[in-house]
């Protein structure tokens, strides 16, 4: 994010199958109702891993409730007597597991839907969950982790339509899910809207069918994405198509009233993609890219997977120099989306990389001096760390949205300083390729950096990510300033 200024075989048999299970069959137990994240302790669920979500909505203008359903394909990681999903909904009316009716309980205060299947789910086997529910865009409880600061509309209603802002911990307002960044899954949205409106979502449009005055769009992603960057927008949108490197299909969706004005900035995307591919030595990781320019988004932008979301006025401004946020969200497609964070304490992997390469891009294009960019980041970090803690142990949960950038990018700059530009690129390329479509932790980054460089960079990296005080950037003792007093 950028804030402000800155088919599956279903086995129902309980019989023990195969030689691997020759020992005593596991006794079915309930899945944990948390993933155990330090930053968001209530979030996530144990005992399974999701492969895909197929979500369906029926959108009627003027009504906040939508007849909805989700089909989930997951794999059991233990033998489950029951399991939970993160969920907030007006109502859940039906749940089936592997085609059989299941008992279920929705607790909107705990934000959990607990499902007890008729037959226990065997360890390592896939299972399918079908949930019929009523989503309600008026039902927007604040994050229990920063209730007083949660000013975001998550179901963001806008000019007769809406879009989604689920980061960091609110995507389960949209549909029941395992809402943690380490459990990535393919996402498909099927939405029926009045035919005068257009829908846009993560991935590629698979079909568009009109019956009477209603049109049904189906979008789906080719690759797994983290839940906090799921996106579906409905409104008066104009599609702008293009071609990226290697014939990559591009499509952007912009508020129709400002689509023409946004043309020049949307036109910058192919060059930005080429620059990033060259910088990282890795092809853009998804099947398509583009920008979403909508209203209702104030003071932030979001790296929705394959479709970064911006306030349309940012895209429609005539100045094509102010590209920091565009490049920041594009980099997130690599770091944050294709390589997701293992836990929220690893968020610098996402934000640090996005901001680092945004600075390098601007320096490359002569828009900023890299030293000035780093110096500004350092001044921000000294102040921020004293108040909110280091990027790898944020004391304030809202920090994951905007407070891990500076510490992360300064660490990357120091690693570059120690190993040299060539080795640094090799570290970055190796880390990205090793963890794309997976989740990575800070330790994973340290391991790759040490392995590729042949040096022990552990202390350097840890001082930036976990240190109580901000390290002095290498080569810049002149920048050092005393840490401000703790407030
Ligand atoms: Zn960001």
For residue 417, is pLDDT > 60?
yes
Ligand 1 mean position, distance from CA 1 (Å) = 3
Ligand 1 mean position, distance from CA 351 (Å) = 5
Whether 111 contacts 141, CB under 8 Å: yes
Ligand 1 mean position, distance from CA 114 (Å) = 32
CA distances from 414 to 276, 407, 442, 446, 464 (A): 20, 11, 16, 13, 9
Ligand 1 mean position, distance from CA 2 (Å) = 4
For position 402, what pLDDT does the model report? 84
- Residue range 1-29: mean pLDDT, rounded: 56
For residue 11, is pLDDT > 60?
no
Ligand 1 mean position, distance from CA 7 (Å) = 34
Ligand 1 mean position, distance from CA 332 (Å) = 7
Rama region for 203: left / alpha / beta (φ>0; ψ in -120 to 50; rest): left
Ligand 1 mean position, distance from CA 440 (Å) = 17
pLDDT one-digit tens code per residue, 473-486:
999 999 987 666 54
Class of domain 344-479: mainly alpha
For residue 5, is pLDDT > 60?
no
How far is residue 262's CA from residue 392's CA, in Å, rounded to a whole number?
A: 37
Ligand 1 mean position, distance from CA 103 (Å) = 40
Ligand 1 mean position, distance from CA 300 (Å) = 9
pTM score > 0.75 for this model?
Answer: yes
Ligand 1 mean position, distance from CA 335 (Å) = 10
For residue 25, is pLDDT > 50?
yes
Ligand 1 mean position, distance from CA 228 (Å) = 12
- Residue range 225-249: mean pLDDT, rounded: 98
For residue 411, is pLDDT > 60?
yes
Ligand 1 mean position, distance from CA 401 (Å) = 7
Ligand 1 mean position, distance from CA 10 (Å) = 39
For position 152, what pLDDT does the model report? 85
Ligand 1 mean position, distance from CA 91 (Å) = 33
Domain locations in the chain as residue ranges: 344-479
Q: What is the mean pLDDT of the chain?
A: 93
Between 318 and 18, the higher pLDDT residue? 318
Return the minimum-mean-pLDDT range out of 14-18, 380-384, 417-421, 436-440: 14-18
CA dihedral 125, 73, 205, 256 (to 10 degrees): -150
Ligand 1 mean position, distance from CA 405 (Å) = 7
Residue 25 Cα to chain centre, angstroms: 37
Ligand 1 mean position, distance from CA 377 (Å) = 14
Ligand 1 mean position, distance from CA 403 (Å) = 10
Whether 190 contacts 55, CB under 8 Å: yes
SS (H, E, C) the chain: CEECCCCCCCCCCCCCCCHHHCCCCCCCEECCCCCCCCCCCCCCCCCEEEEEEEEEEECCCCCCEEEEEEEEEEEECCCEEEEEEECCCCEEEEEEECCEECEEEEECCCCEEEEECCCCECCCCEEEEEEEEEEECCCCCCCCCCHHHCCCCCEEEECCEEEECCCCCCHHHCCCECCCCCCCEEEEEEEEEECCCEEEECCEEEEEEEECCEEEEEEECCCCECHHHCCEEEECEEEEEEECHHHCEEEEEEEHHHHHHHHHHHCCHHHHHHHHHHHHCCCCCCCCECEEEECCCCCEEECCCCCEEEEHHHHHCCCCCCCHHHHHHHHHHHECCCEEECCHHHCHHHHHHHHHHHHHHHHHCCCCCHHHHHHHHHHHHHHHHHHHCCCCCCCCHHHHHCCCHHHHHHHHHHHHHHHCHHHHHHHHHHHHHHHCCEEECHHHHHHHHHHHHCCCCHHHHHHHHHCCCCCCCCCCHHHCCCCCCCC
Whether 200 contacts 161, CB under 8 Å: no
Ligand 1 mean position, distance from CA 352 (Å) = 8
Between 375 and 14, the higher pLDDT residue? 375
Helices 405-419 and 442-453 sit at what angle, rounded to 10 degrees? 10
Whether 67 contacts 58, CB under 8 Å: yes
pLDDT one-digit tens code per residue, 82-107:
999 999 999 999 999 999 999 999 99
For position 98, what pLDDT does the model report? 98
Ligand 1 mean position, distance from CA 323 (Å) = 14
Q: What percentage of the chain exceeds 90 in pLDDT?
A: 87
Q: Which residues have CB less than 5 Å away from ligand 1 (the ion)?
A: 1-2, 351, 354
Ligand 1 mean position, distance from CA 105 (Å) = 35
Ligand 1 mean position, distance from CA 399 (Å) = 11
CA dihedral 459, 465, 470, 473 (to 10 degrees): 60
For residue 165, is pLDDT > 70?
yes
| Residues contacting residue 24 through CB under 8 Å, at least 6 positions apart | none
């Amino acid at each position: 994010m950028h804030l402000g200024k800155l088919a599956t075989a279903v086995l129902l048999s309980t019989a023990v199958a195969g030689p691997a299970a020759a020992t005593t069959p596991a006794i079915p137990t309930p899945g944990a109702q948390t993933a155990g994240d330090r930053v968001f302790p209530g979030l996530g669920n144990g005992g399974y891993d999701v492969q895909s979500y197929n979500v369906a909505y029926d959108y009627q203008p003027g009504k906040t409730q939508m007849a909805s359903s989700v089909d989930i394909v997951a794999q059991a990681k233990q033998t489950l007597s029951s399991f939970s999903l993160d969920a907030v909904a007006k109502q859940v009316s039906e749940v089936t597991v592997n085609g059989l009716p299941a008992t279920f309980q929705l607790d909107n205060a705990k934000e959990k839907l607990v499902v007890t299947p008729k037959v226990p789910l065997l360890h390592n086997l896939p299972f399918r969950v079908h949930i019929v529910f009523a989503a309600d865009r008026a039902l927007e409880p604040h994050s229990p982790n920063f209730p007083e600061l949660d000013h975001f509309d998550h179901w963001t209603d806008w000019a007769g339509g809406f879009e989604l802002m689920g980061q960091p911990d609110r995507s389960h307002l949209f549909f029941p899910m395992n809402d943690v960044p380490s459990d990535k899954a393919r996402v498909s949205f099927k939405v029926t809207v009045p035919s005068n409106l257009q829908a846009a979502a993560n991935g590629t449009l698979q079909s568009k069918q009109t019956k009477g005055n209603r049109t049904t769009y189906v979008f789906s992603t080719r690759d797994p994405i983290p839940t906090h960057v799921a996106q579906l927008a409905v409104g008066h949108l104009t599609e702008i198509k293009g071609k990226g490197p290697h014939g990559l299909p591009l499509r952007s969706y912009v508020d129709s009233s400002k689509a023409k004005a946004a043309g020049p900035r949307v036109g910058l995307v192919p060059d930005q993609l080429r620059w990033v591919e060259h910088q990282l030595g890795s092809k853009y990781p998804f099947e398509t890219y583009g920008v979403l320019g909508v209203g209702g988004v104030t003071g932030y932008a979001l790296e929705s997977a394959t479709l970064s979301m911006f306030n349309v006025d940012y895209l429609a401004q005539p100045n094509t120099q102010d590209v920091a946020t565009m490049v920041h969200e594009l980099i997130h497609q690599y770091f944050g989306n294709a390589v997701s964070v293992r836990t929220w304490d690893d968020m610098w992997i996402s934000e640090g990389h996005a901001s680092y390469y945004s600075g390098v891009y601007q320096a490359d294009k002569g828009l900023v001096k890299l030293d000035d960019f780093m110096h500004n980041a350092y001044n921000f970090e000294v102040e921020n760390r004293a108040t909110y803690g280091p990027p790898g142990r944020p004391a304030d949960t809202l920090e994951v949205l905007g407070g891990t950038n500076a510490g992360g990018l300064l660490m990357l700059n120091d690693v570059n300083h120690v190993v040299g530009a060539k080795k640094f690129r090799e570290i970055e390329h190796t880390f990205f390729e090793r963890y794309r479509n997976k989740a990575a932790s800070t330790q994973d980054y340290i391991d790759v950096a040490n392995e590729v460089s042949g040096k022990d960079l552990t202390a350097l990296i840890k001082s930036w990510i976990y240190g109580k005080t901000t390290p002095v950037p290498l080569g810049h003792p002149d920048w050092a300033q005393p840490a401000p007093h703790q407030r």
